[in-house]
Amino acid sequence: MRITLADLRSDEIQKKTDEELYKGIAFGVGHKQHSHAFAERGMSINQVIDVVQYIRGLAERSGKS
């Protein structure tokens, strides 16, 4: 099985709300290919928030924001 990675700087990802990103990372909401639920695997709320902020920063650093 081949896993495709999303470009976290892409418009598709950056147009998502922080809440959508949070739910996708923490609970796997909206992931068709490979559902993950990092909150259930021990990731804290603050760690998930940090990841959302990191994703937002990728677009800013690449000039895509």
Compute and round to an integer the Cα radius of gyration of the chain.
12
Q: 39 or 24: which carries more pLDDT confidence?
A: 24
Q: List, for residues 4-36, the tens digit of each pLDDT value.
A: 788 999 999 999 999 999 999 898 887 666 567
DSSP string, 18-57: HHHHHHHHHH-TT-SSS---TTTTT--HHHHHHHHHHHHH
Q: List, for residues 43-57, the tens digit of each pLDDT value.
A: 999 999 999 999 999
- All structural domains of the chain with their residue ranges: 11-62
The pLDDT, as a whole number, for residue 1 is 63
The pLDDT, as a whole number, for residue 5 is 80
